[in-house]
Structure 1
């Protein structure tokens, strides 16, 4: 889906969004976010680099100058947006990925450049829903071969980046301008459950694929309750059951419903179910009944003091 198709889609579906397991690491220039992303990559996390910087570097490598690249600011920012959308469509939404900037970050830069924020930027910023957003507080501004912002621009972007994410409904987490390892510890403390969600997303997909295979084998789609959409919420469950156990129970429940649906479609399926005891359908073990009576053959009498007498008058060996 390109930007034009995306805009047409949003005009029909203005509230559409894709829930993701992604984390955004953002901040003004010289805030250390790229260093932080590289450190996360070293630690084994999946990352997505700054697409706008990559685009600029690629243009410089072809011999273009910064003046030529920025000649048409609006067209260049639109190109950055298109590259972002194309790249993000290749990343699984359920995978834990740390992004160096993302689509909403385009808007503060447009404001800095005094370029009108058109629908393509405003609507596309709502396309993906992130799990966490971290803003790196800026260090002293360092000028390199790509940056062109001033110290005033740096402070403006720091404020506007936080504003745009808050407007989109995020509770941003600010990372003080400290050592990268301290920032890493803060991030890990806040995203510890997201790695579990990534595994659960994979399990959910496997369950869906298994259900789809059964549907295909039957030649029609079965009507099955859909617990999968609620499974992400199990992370917040405070009981003692592990997340893996909860997923396994959900999977078993889906397969039992599938088996039941298949059986009901057979000629004698309903009759077989009616003839099968409930404890067998629920896969329960029936307790063995003792042949010895559990009823006492004694009774209490307290006409003249408490006395235990044999042969209870309420019990008879011979039942009429």
Structure 2
């Protein structure tokens, strides 16, 4: 494995746990951010009625997520200071495991080569803020299963998971920054 890039910090977890809201709050505080791949891919492929949707072609969807994460990783090099990622390369491995697809060797290599800060912040399901929409079709139970699969993927990739407690957006943002010593 390559050395971790301590400037690149991941927020992960199941859908509807508040990751994107926290990424936006970190951006408001002046930090560089990288958006979530899955939601953007779903929005784009719904708009063009394309095949790379998790309910049409899970393997193709995973490949596009991997491509997006690799691009986001490369683009982060142009940013100063800490960059917060709304998911990362190991999320793709967790997704593939969750949906019962084999993890291809090139995806495993990507997780080995593209390293992030050793501490990964995980947001578990939060029923009070969870909501389905046109891109988020999972149930709350599926969100929990997703969170578990992602936790397993990150642990297997050698990251230390830190659970972000429930609270206001400001409290959660402060928790993340305090745990990084920022």
- Structure 2 stretches lacking a partner, 5+ long: none
CA RMSD of aligned residues (A): 2.1
Say yes or no: does 1:111 pair with 2:100.
no
Cross-structure match for 1:69? 53
Structure 2 residue 165 is matched with structure 1 residue 176: yes
5+ residue gaps, structure 1, are: 1-14, 194-320
Task: Detail structure 1 runs of 4+ shifted over 4 Å in the superposition.
Answer: none
Query: Matches of residues 230-245 of structure 1 in structure 2 within 5 Å?
Result: none
In the superposition, the TM-score normalised over structure 2's length comes to 0.87
Q: TM-score, normalization: structure 1? A: 0.51
Deviations 1:97-118 (A, max 9, x none): 0000011011221122111111
Q: Name the structure, 1 or 2, with higher relative contact order (CA <8 Å, separation 6+).
A: 2
Q: Which of 141, 144, 148 is matched with 1:159 structurally?
A: 148
For 1:173, what is the secondary structure of its paired residue?
Answer: strand
How many equivalent pairs are there? Answer: 177
Larger Rg: 1
Equivalent residue, structure 1, for 2:121: 134
- What does 1:193-272 correspond to in 2, within 5 Å? 193=182
Residue 137 of structure 2 is aligned to residue 148 of structure 1: yes
Compute the displacement of 1:20 (Å).
4.1
1:73, 1:146 → 2: CA distance? Answer: 14
Partner of 1:35: 21
Supply the distance in 2 between the matched residues of 1:168 and 1:183 (Cα, whole angstroms): 25
Give, in angstroms, the shift of residue 192 of structure 1. Answer: 2.6
| Distance in structure 2 (CA, Å) of the matches to 1:68 and 1:188 | 35
**Partner SS for 1:126:** helix
